[in-house]
Amino acid sequence: MWIQPEEVLMAGALWVSERANPFFILQRRKGHGRGGGLSGLLVGTLDVVLDSSARVAPYRILLQTADSQIYWNVACGSSRKEITEHWEWLESNLLQTISIFDNDEDVTTFVKGKISGIIAEENRLKQGEEQEEDCGKFREAELKMRRLFSMPDEEKLVNYYSCSYWKGRVPRQGWLYLSVNHLCFYSFLMGKEVTLVVQWTEVTQLEKNANLVFPESVRVSTRHTEHFFSMFLNINDTFKLMEQLANIAMRQLLDNEAFAADLTLPKPCKTLKNVSALKRDLDARAKNERYRTMFRLTQDERLDGHTDCTLWTPFAKMHVVGQLFISNNYICFNSREEGLCQLIIPLREVSIAEKADSSSVLPCPVSISTKNKMNFLFANLKDRDFLIQRISDFLQRTPDSLRGDTSLLCLAGPSTTSMSSGSESAHKTPHYHPGLSTASQGLLQLYHQDAREDLGPKAMKEKMKEEAWNIHFSEFGRGVCMYRTSRTRELVLNGIPEGLRGELWLLFSGAQNEMATHPGYYGDLVEQAMGLCSLATEEIERDLHRSMPEHRAFQNETGIAALRRVLTAYAHRNPGIGYCQAMNIVTSVLLLYCPEEEAFWLLVALCERMLPDYYNTRVVGALVDQGVFEELTRAFLPLLYEHMQELGVISTISLSWFLTLFLSVMPFDSAVLLVDCFFYEGIKVTFQVALAVLYDNMDALLSCSDEGEAMTILGRYLDNVVNKQTVAPPIPHLHALLTSGDDPPPEIDIFDLIRSSYEKFGSLHSDVIEQMRFKQRLKVIQSLEDTAKRSVVRAMMTESAFSIEELEELYCLFKSKHMTSCYWGSSSSAAERHDPSLPYLEQYRIDPAQFTQLFTALSPWVCGGHTSTLSNRLFRLLDQNKDGLVNFKEFITGLSGMYHGDMTEKLKLLYKLHLPPALCPEVAESALEATHFFTEEEPQESSSLCDVEMLGLPDVTPGVEGKDGGGDSEEKKEEKVKDYRYYLRMWAKEKEPKAETIKDLPRINQEQFIDLCKTLYNMFSEEPLEQELYHSIATVASLLLRIGEVGKRFNNNNGGRKADNPAAQALLTEAQREEGHKEGGAWESQACLALADAQLEPTALDEESKDHVSLSSHSVVSSSSLQCDDITDNSVRIGDSRRRRGSVLDVDWSITFEQVLASLLTEPPLVDYFEKKRDFKNKMASCKAQRAVERQTSSASDHELTQHST
């Protein structure tokens, strides 16, 4: 076993070296094994005589370095096999690594750290196996992770591992922490600290590989860097967990849904030490996903457990070895040999589950009987009593409505209709009811029911197929409990008869189970969806008549109406997908063979389980499988792959093939046979056939010189894939008619193509495809995110003055804040923040707290403690729709104004921040009262009327009233249309953004002006010319206060009032007495005079101002800032009890933005300050430094670790 490294001064005494390399020695103790002589005999005797606790293990491994006389014992073993395993691990994992170190001290430190890490992890695993109740070590590791990497409490640790992180060519031994949203690594060795934090949403590639440089390592790639981790105790388990967490992150990017822990996960019988609840949750999710995929079950099905057993197969008279799976609604069996036998028994079909009599042939059997008189016998069960108890528990939870005869539910519709026939006029006829022809049969059956019976050879072959299936049903059962064997697969590959196609599609896809558990769901959905107008319904209406227009079933309203109902119902059920092109083609084929409700549930199975993410707005699933197809082409057809990549053909052809399951590129009668295979085998059939098509055309494709030629070859090949056994009348394939030419290529039998695909590429397994899908999903989703970023940057280039690189960095920063809200919580849910239907630059949104963080990090206006107030005001100003969120476009608009606007634009922005709506409701309440006076006096400056009011004006449209009385109805209709168009033009014109001028800005009252002065004083606190700016703003403030007072007196005919406040009068007298004593006395007294005239209560100035007026110019300027700050905080704060006596504020006092601008232009320091170009790059660099994911310091103290963690 591995031991904590300990010094050995004499390596040769009593030990014999058996193996050696430049760094390690494997030794055997004398007296053990062969030879040893007298000394060996003495040592062996001594070891036997000594107490067991003092005995020495007979084998050990020492670490040695060339320049040191000290050896380190790192492992010991009681047998040669045990010590050999340790030796081989050292040679394969450490020997190459430590050979690159420059000095022996580094070698010793690294090996000691690695061995200590292995021992720590082994102890943790052993304690977990012993199932002790104390899980304090895991909590300790979680707290350590949060401390090291500055993570909030919401960030949950899933697991942690000892490993090495390769920094350059030097490995750093440390601990890898895998949390829900981050991959973190920490190491402190040889006086150097390494910290790494990678968000899972930034991972573009995750691979497990092995080469000469990195022995069996995991590579984590992001857009800019690659990270290598190696020397795991169990690399496979670690990699699987990494894959799961990366998959969750990709789902976040795709659906914007945060990870939600499974609160219903049952607690373990015994507490598992150092196994977090999240780790158990993820393990259960992985098992559930595999279980659901294997048996085509719904997403809410959860595996309760599985056990090895045998199933008695009456058709083969033998026991089949496999596994029995139990979940909340199903009992399933899958044979150990792939494809030999599979069984799905819904608990709603179970009538009896009991123990059978044991025998030598059938040990510990369990018998399960169903309502359709089928009996299943499972044997060789380890814990039969527990299994029966679990099945009984689940049977008790199964609703009686599902266990009853659901066929009666189908009759409820007609009986209800007949009973209420007398009140039909009072109730609206439902859009979907059992009386519809498409409610009970497929469109193909509907249009063939009047056709004469065909007695030709093709029809006879079709009847033979039906008979073969009937024989199969009699032997293997019919319905959901049918044995699915290799014989079933053979029948499917030979083609399903038209009469059974709908039934078997429903069975093999799992849609039958979902339909049985949701009776009446489709009808309710149709009633809810029909009549609603949305983007999805508009697209559906546009594509209805494009769905198989060559087929007679869709050349009339019956087929079109059925297609409309199914597509609209699904769009209503799943608004995340809504409607996507290609869904209409697939659905029209389903309707040919199935009634409406069955077609709907088949579409659900297709979109949500069998082709996941295929039909969302970005067809992510199809793009993922396109990448998988390229990888498969490279593996199976390498020569063709290289040539096709040069032409760029694979990405073009595969998308249309996969989205429509070849239905749009192949004659219908042939493509429907591929759909048969797809519903039974899954997506692997699509890949196999696609590879077979490329293989058959390899020579022609290799000789192609451009993409168009290759597309023509493949198109003509697929057009001529025929089904010679079909009994249906031929359906013209439009593409084939257009591209056949004078010399059409030879016909290809679809059965030959399917057989060839299984022979050449049948080794393809679903597990391999899922692994490849994961790899491609990372690439595709990150590629889509990059495309979105480029689109946003292009759109914002015309609306801001930031460069492309700056906009990209800002977008990444903004998006990371948005994603943080998804998994660390916020005031609003992630779904509210992300709307995929919006343009890319409006999809991601942040709340006020996150906006404040970005504002503080990036804003050029640093206001100290006032920064958060200014940030909140800017947020309210930018939040145009008042939803409490700001999108990227609005964020850039505000930031661009601060950095790239001229002096007037910057002052306008600052001015608006002290007016409603930037003021919060509490602060703005009295401000609105104060400005109400000005809005009443100047209605031309008020905001424009709302759209509804503008549209409702009676005099907007001249001559409309004259059209109201009499006249021909057609003329009225035409005039009405004209009126609507006119109103639409008016509405569009009203919606056009109007250029805002400085005259459009409302006046600012006294309180808002003082608040503006406070903001300016805080902005100048860290400037190099701080005193000059204070001097200038004080001068401007005094000037503007007097301007406002003069304006008030001018507006009031009775003239201005003298200050009646004794304190203010005293302040005025004191200021006049000291005027001229100092250089700063003039402007200081002017400010005091203006404040006194404004009748402000100078509670904070009573004592301090008397001391400050006699100070030097420097002191006076500094004190003025304090005075203004105190006035704002204590005297004129809205809602504060310390206000001037008698009223809120002097509502007569006000100034305009033009006056503010003109006054500021008189002070050169202020002009220079606002015209100065701010360095955005430095701000962005410092912000990125705070978010740095990798750093290396020379500190070892915990205090410094906490300070420097990112």
Please provide residue 730's backbone torsions phi and psi, each rounded to the nearest 5 degrees: -60, 135
Mean pLDDT check: name the lowest of 444-458, 662-676, 719-733, 1024-1038.
Answer: 444-458
Structure tokens belonging to residue 608: 């949500």
pLDDT at residue 183, rounded to an integer: 95
pLDDT in tens, 632-649: 999 999 999 999 888 888
Q: How many C-beta atoms lie closer than 10 Å to residue 786's C-beta? A: 13
pLDDT band at residue 292 under the 50/70/90 scheme: very high
The rounded distance, in Å, linking the Cα atoms of 366 and 370 is 13
Q: Is the pLDDT assigned to residue 785 strictly greater than 50?
A: yes
pLDDT in tens, 181-197: 999 999 887 678 889 99
Mean pLDDT over 1134-1152 rounds to 55
pLDDT at residue 688, rounded to an integer: 95
pLDDT at residue 281, rounded to an integer: 87
Whether residue 748 contacts residue 696, with contact meaning beta carbons closer than 8 Å, is answered with yes
Ramachandran class of 262: left when φ > 0, alpha when ψ lies in -120 to 50, beta otherwise: beta
The rounded distance, in Å, linking the Cα atoms of 1023 and 1026 is 5
Closest CA to 465 of 498, 443, 509: 498
Show the beta-strand stretches assigned E in 476-541: 484-485
The rounded distance, in Å, linking the Cα atoms of 1145 and 1143 is 6
Report the amino acid identity of residue 471: I
Only one residue has tokens 């206000």, namely 1139
Mean pLDDT over 1068-1089 rounds to 40
| Interacting residues of 628 by C-beta distance below 8 A, sequence separation 6+ | 687, 769, 772, 773, 776
pLDDT in tens, 555-594: 889 999 999 999 999 999 998 888 998 899 999 999 999 9
Residue 77's DSSP bridge partners are 59
Structure tokens belonging to residue 896: 């661009």
Whether residue 62 contacts residue 11, with contact meaning beta carbons closer than 8 Å, is answered with yes
Structure tokens belonging to residue 726: 């079909």
Mean pLDDT over 1067-1087 rounds to 39
Mean pLDDT over 1116-1131 rounds to 36
Structure tokens belonging to residue 123: 């102890």
Q: Rank 15-19, 246-250, 914-918, 1128-1132 by mean pLDDT and report only the highest.
A: 246-250
Closest CA to 499 of 441, 551, 555: 441
Mean pLDDT over 253-267 rounds to 67
Tell the burial category of 775 from Cβ atoms under 10 Å away from its Cβ (0-12, 13-18, 19+): middle
The rounded distance, in Å, linking the Cα atoms of 1030 and 1015 is 12
| Interacting residues of 1124 by C-beta distance below 8 A, sequence separation 6+ | 1010, 1013, 1014, 1017, 1034, 1037
Per the prediction, the chain carries an average pLDDT of 77
| Interacting residues of 612 by C-beta distance below 8 A, sequence separation 6+ | 621
Structure tokens belonging to residue 211: 């080469």
Show the beta-strand stretches assigned E in 786-940: 845-846, 886-887
The rounded distance, in Å, linking the Cα atoms of 1085 and 1074 is 8
Only one residue has tokens 């209800």, namely 416
Q: Is the pLDDT assigned to residue 214 strictly greater than 50?
A: yes
| DSSP β-ladder status, 24-29 and 59-63 | antiparallel
| DSSP β-ladder status, 721-722 and 748-749 | parallel
Whether residue 459 contacts residue 616, with contact meaning beta carbons closer than 8 Å, is answered with no
Report the amino acid identity of residue 951: L
The rounded distance, in Å, linking the Cα atoms of 60 and 622 is 56
pLDDT at residue 1204, rounded to an integer: 38
Please provide residue 343's backbone torsions phi and psi, each rounded to the nearest 5 degrees: -145, 135
Whether residue 1061 contacts residue 1116, with contact meaning beta carbons closer than 8 Å, is answered with no
pLDDT in tens, 490-525: 999 999 999 999 999 999 999 999 999 999 999 999
Q: Is the pLDDT assigned to residue 1060 strictly greater than 80?
A: no
Q: Is the pLDDT assigned to residue 1091 strictly greater than 90?
A: no
Only one residue has tokens 């409603």, namely 916
pLDDT at residue 8, rounded to an integer: 81
Predicted TM-score (pTM) of the model is 0.74
CA distances from 98 to 71, 105, 228, 258, 1155 (A): 16, 11, 16, 42, 74
pLDDT band at residue 721 under the 50/70/90 scheme: very high
Tell the burial category of 90 from Cβ atoms under 10 Å away from its Cβ (0-12, 13-18, 19+): buried
Whether residue 912 contacts residue 1156, with contact meaning beta carbons closer than 8 Å, is answered with no
Q: How many C-beta atoms lie closer than 10 Å to residue 712's C-beta? A: 15
pLDDT at residue 1148, rounded to an integer: 77
Structure tokens belonging to residue 698: 């390899």
Whether residue 284 contacts residue 262, with contact meaning beta carbons closer than 8 Å, is answered with yes
Please provide residue 844's backbone torsions phi and psi, each rounded to the nearest 5 degrees: -90, 135
CA distances from 693 to 402, 497, 636, 647 (A): 45, 25, 13, 17
Residue 335's DSSP bridge partners are 322
The rounded distance, in Å, linking the Cα atoms of 654 and 671 is 15
Q: Is the pLDDT assigned to residue 284 strictly greater than 50?
A: yes
CA distances from 529 to 28, 565, 1110 (A): 80, 8, 80
Q: What is the DSSP code (8-state) at residue 826?
A: -
Closest CA to 1192 of 104, 217, 168, 144: 168
Q: Is the pLDDT assigned to residue 271 strictly greater than 70?
A: no
Residue 176's DSSP bridge partners are 161, 185
Residue 318's DSSP bridge partners are 313
| CB burial readout 585-622, b (16+ within 10 A) else e | bbbbbbbbbbbbbbbbbbbbbbbbbbbbbbbbebbbbb
Whether residue 778 contacts residue 206, with contact meaning beta carbons closer than 8 Å, is answered with yes
Structure tokens belonging to residue 1148: 């007569």
CB-side neighbour CA atoms (13 Å) of 1068? 17
Only one residue has tokens 């299943």, namely 376
Closest CA to 1194 of 164, 101, 165, 188: 188
What is the per-residue DSSP string for 121-181? Answer: HHHHHHHHHHT-S--HHHHHHHHHHHHHHT--TTPPEEEEEEEEEEETTEEEEEEEEEESS
Structure tokens belonging to residue 818: 């948005």
Report the amino acid identity of residue 324: L
Residue 1151's DSSP bridge partners are 1004
The rounded distance, in Å, linking the Cα atoms of 1164 and 1172 is 12
The rounded distance, in Å, linking the Cα atoms of 799 and 794 is 10
